[in-house]
Amino acid sequence: MSTITKDRPAKKKRAVNLCLLAAVVVLAVLPLLLVHDAEFGGADGQAEAAITEIKADYQPWFQPLWEPPSSEIESLLFALQAALGAGFIGYYFGFRRGKKNSG
């Protein structure tokens, strides 16, 4: 009987993890299914359009040091930045949990 009680929390954790994964997938796919011909532009482009609408002769305060050669490279760098950040956060929480569990 002890194996039944030990397996129950593991099965419950697995069910919770699967529900969370399903929720993330639904949140990622749902906008693509509901809004067929929407343009999913970035916040930078929307901000630039709003600023020029308010003040057409606006000049930026500074220019970027380097512009990516294409939008694909820009997306790649953004994804790399997100992956490194997620890796760092995951490592930190794993390290803290291991430290807590070790004593």
DSSP letter for each residue of 31-75: HHHH-TT-----HHHHHHHHHHHH-TT---S---S---SSHHHHH
What is the count of structural domains for the chain?
A: 1
**For residues 91, 94, 96 and 99, what is the CA-based torsion angle, rounded to 10 degrees?**
-120
Confidence (pTM): 0.51
- Cα angle 43, 65, 82 (rounded to 5 degrees) comes to 45
Query: 60 falls in which pLDDT band (50, 70, 90)?
Result: confident
Q: Is residue 62 part of a domain?
A: no
- Is residue 22, in this structure, part of any structural domain at all? no
Give the whole-number percent of the chain exceeding pLDDT 90. Answer: 48
Indicate whether 40 belongs to any domain.
Answer: no
Residues spanned by the domain of 96: 69-102
Determine, yes or no, domain membership for 32. no
In a domain, 90, yes or no: yes
